[in-house]
Amino acid sequence: MLVAVGWAAFFWLTAQQDLWERVLRGLFPQVSTPIYGRNTLWELTWQHLGLTAAALGLVLAVGLSLSLWVTRPQGRAFLPLVNNLTTVGQTFPPVAVLFLALPVAGFGPRAAIAALALYALLPVTRSAVLGLQSVPPPVLDAAEGLGLTPAQQLWRLEVPLALPAVLAGIRTALVLTIATATLAPMVGTGGLGVPIIAGLGAANLALILEGAVPVALLALLSDLSLRRLEEWLTPWEAGRA
Residues 13-37 have pLDDT tens digits of 999 999 999 999 999 999 888 999 8
> What is the per-residue DSSP string for 103-124?
HHH-SSHHHHHHHHHHHHHHHH
Q: What's the one-letter identity of residue 39?
A: N
Please give the model's pTM, rounded to 2 decimal places.
0.90
How do the domains of the chain map onto residue ranges?
A: 2-240
CA angle at 194 for the pair 180 and 90, rounded to the nearest 5°: 15
Alpha helix stretches (DSSP H) within 71-158: 79-88, 94-105, 109-133, 137-145, 150-153
Phi-psi region of 191 (alpha: psi -120 to 50; beta: other; left: phi over 0): left
CA distances from 114 to 43, 76, 121 (A): 22, 26, 10
First to last CA, the chain: 23
At 84 the pLDDT is 81
| Torsions phi, psi for 228 (to 5 deg) | -65, -40
Residues 165-180 have pLDDT tens digits of 999 999 999 999 999 9
Q: Are the beta carbons of 160 and 194 closer than 8 angstroms?
A: no
CATH 1.25.60.10 fits 2-240, yes or no: no
CA atoms within 13 A on the CB side of 21: 11
Q: What is the DSSP letter of 39?
A: S
Checking if the pLDDT of 100 tops 80, the result is no
Residues 123-141 have pLDDT tens digits of 899 999 988 888 888 877 8
